[in-house]
Amino acid sequence: MNVGFDFINNKLIIRIDGDIDHHTCDEIRSKIDNEIMRRNPKDIIFDMKNVNFMDSSGIGVIIGRYKLVMAKSGVAAMINVKPQIQRVYDICGLKKIIPIYENEIQAVKNI
Amino acid sequence: MRIDNEMRLEFLSKSQNESFARSVVAAFIAQLDPTIDELADVKTAVSEAVTNAIIHGYECQSGHISIVSKIMGRTVEIEIFDQGKGIENIDLARQPLYTSKPELERSGMGFTVMETFMDHVEVVSQPGMGTTIRLTKTFKSM
């Protein structure tokens, strides 16, 4: 499971590559948490461009990371979200806490 | 209802089999030509049920999970069986946001996702005997 990172304007862009389910979520979680510890970003942006599948295990990972940055007054956002992931996102009520932007430029500009 | 096709699958309760299980079910039901959204709905629901069997049914210990899927006209029925610890209180387990394992950072939305993406979700469980989840969905696309 490859998770890439970029750091722009004190925001950590998290680029996940592959399915997010119970099997992959431990590795994704630990890679993101290591990077958050190392970089100490204010905000985080999940780039879902290369994620074709996510179930509720992924929601747990996203909410967990949201709580990490929220504790330091940061925010979390998602970009490049595909329809299957959007459906899971909608059902789980993530809309209230983690906005979706069309792309990275929009997200970096607005959060 | 007349059964047009049926498949059975059995695998160990290993988390790497979650993607295997949802992909096999998706490949089986693809013969009904569902839309991409309908196919994604079923894959997601199966992933939730198999994950529940691994985490809660077997509590990450080794066990067998079986899937039986039937096609009846434009309807698919998918049964996911485990012989794990079973569910004490099914109504509570189905509540949105409820998780019996908060320490694992679970969202508690597994059953809600299944209920939203499928037409019917039936849960049969007895403590100590295991759990069967029966998912049913009729494809509207032709």
Q: Are strands B75-82 and B64-72 parallel, antiparallel or unpaired?
A: antiparallel
DSSP-based three-state secondary structure for B131: strand
Pair B87, B123: CB distance under 8 Å: yes
User: How many other CB atoms are there within 10 angstroms of residue B102's CB atom?
Assistant: 9
Pick the CATH number of A2-110 from 3.40.50.300, 3.30.750.24, 3.60.15.10, 3.90.25.10: 3.30.750.24
Parallel, antiparallel, or unpaired for β A100-101 and B75-82? unpaired
Residue type, A82: K
Q: Is B10 a catalytic residue?
A: no
Say which amino acid occupies A39: R
> Min CA distance, B3 vs chain A (Å)?
29
pLDDT at A7 over 80: yes
What CATH number corresponds to the domain at position B118? 3.30.565.10
Residue entry with tokens 């409820």: B98
* B18 is an active site residue: no
Q: What is the DSSP code string of B97-115?
A: T--S-GGGT--S-HHHHHH
pLDDT, residue B103, reads 76
Tally the domains of chain B: 1
The C-alpha of A89 sits at a distance from chain B's nearest C-alpha, in angstroms, of: 10
Pairing mode of beta strands A76-79, A43-50? parallel
Q: Across the strands, what pairs with B132?
A: B81, B124
Task: Output the six-digit token pair for B92.
Answer: 């509570």
pLDDT digits (tens, 9 = 90+) for B54-80: 999 999 889 999 999 999 999 999 999
Cβ–Cβ < 8 Å for A50, A82: no
Does position B99 have pLDDT exceeding 90, yes or no? no
In this complex, do A56 and B105 lie within 8 Å of one another by their Cβ atoms?
Answer: no
Predicted confidence at residue A60, as pLDDT, reads 93
Residues of chain B neighbouring A19 (CB-CB closer than 8 A): 19
Backbone conformation region of residue B60, classed left if phi is above 0, alpha if psi is from -120 to 50, else beta:
left
User: Token pair for residue A64?
Assistant: 């967990």
Q: Is the pLDDT of residue A99 over 80?
A: yes
Record: contact A56-B48, CB cut-off 8 A: yes
Contacts of A109 (CB under 8 A, 6+ apart): none
Domain positions in chain A are: 2-110
At residue A86, the pLDDT reads: 95
The per-residue pLDDT for B142 is 62
Is B89 an annotated catalytic residue?
A: no
Residue type, A92: C
d(CA B79, CA A56): 20
The beta-carbon neighbor of A21 closest among B19, B105, B108 is: B19
User: Hey, are the CB atoms on A60 and B106 less than 8 Å from each other?
Assistant: yes
Residue B140 has φ and ψ, to the nearest 5°, of -90, -25
pLDDT surpassing 80 at residue B49: yes
Q: What ipTM describes this predicted complex?
A: 0.92
pLDDT at residue B141 greater than cutoff 80: no
Asked if A92 and B113 come within 8 Å (Cβ–Cβ), the reply is: yes
**Cβ within 8 Å, pair A92-B16:** no
Q: Give contacts of B108 with chain A, Cβ < 8 Å.
A: 56
Runs of H (alpha helix) within B30-80: 36-52
Give the pLDDT confidence of A10-66 residue by residue, as tens digits: 999 999 999 999 999 999 999 999 999 999 999 999 999 999 999 999 999 999 999
Confidence check: pLDDT of B116 > 90: yes
Catalytic option among B106, B115, B122, B134: B106
* Parent domain of B15: 5-138
Report chain A residues whose CB lies below 8 A from the CB of B41.
Answer: 87
